Amino acid sequence: MEWYCKTCGYNIENREDKRKVKVGEKGVYIVGYCENCLTWTILDIIPKDIVKKHIKKLIDE
- pLDDT tens readout for residues 35-50: 999 999 999 999 999 9
DSSP secondary structure letters along 1-61: --EE-TTT-PEEP--GGGEEEEE-SSEEEEEEEETTTTEEEEEEEEEHHHHHHHHHHHHH-
In terms of pTM, does the model score above 0.75? Answer: no
Q: Is the per-residue pLDDT at 3 higher than 90?
A: no
Helix (H) or strand (E) holding 51: helix 48-60
Q: Letter for the amino acid at 48?
A: K
Structural domain count, the chain:
1
Show the domain range for 43: 3-60
